[in-house]
Amino acid sequence: MAALSVAVVLLDRWTKDAVIDALPVHSARNVIPGFFDLVHTRNTGIAFSLFADSGPFVSEVLLPLVSALAIVFVVVYFWRQSEDAPAVRWALALILAGAVGNLYDRMSFGYVTDFLLFYVGDWSWPAFNVADSAITIGAGLLLLDSLRKPSPAPDTSAA
């Protein structure tokens, strides 16, 4: 699972660096007309630009602190999972990688680079990145796992 986290963090960093090198800030390159663009945006907030206009205390202190605490929580939760809960462990590895990738940006640059923009007509999803995708997929896996029917507890009563 550690290999998955490391691979996602490296992919996140590589894609963000490629966008930074290829596109000026606030520019776009159309990939699939009417559906998908590569963009170069700087997000000082959290997912989907929430809290982006909240000021320097939130973006420079509160958000990195919350991100760091979330990473600690995910690591502790990961290590408490048994080997027979692979879906949960995969999910947590993805969430951890996404949180680390975005925290690295936030601590290094004061913002997170987002570059994937999907839209249809006038409707568009907020721009996001590989780290955001990993967090979303991990959260989805956790949700799916929580909906599974629990296996019955073994009977420990004496016969």
30: which strand partners? 37
**Total number of domains constituting the chain:** 1
Instruction: Give the pLDDT score at 66.
Output: 83
18: in domain: yes
Q: Residue 110 belongs to what domain range?
A: 2-147
pTM for this model (two decimals): 0.83
53 included as an active-site residue: no
132 included as an active-site residue: yes
Average pLDDT over the chain reads: 87
152: in domain: no
115: in domain: yes
The per-residue b/e assignment along 77-113, b for 16 or more CB within 10 angstroms, e otherwise, is ebeeeeeeeeebbbbbbbbbbbbbbbbbbbeeeebbb
The one catalytic residue among 21, 114, 122, 155: 114
158: in domain: no
Strands 28-32 and 36-43: antiparallel
Residue 54's H or E segment, with its range, is none
pLDDT tens-place string over residues 23-57? 999 999 999 999 999 999 998 876 655 556 666 67
Q: Which of 53-62, 65-74, 75-84, 90-99 has the lowest mean pLDDT?
A: 53-62
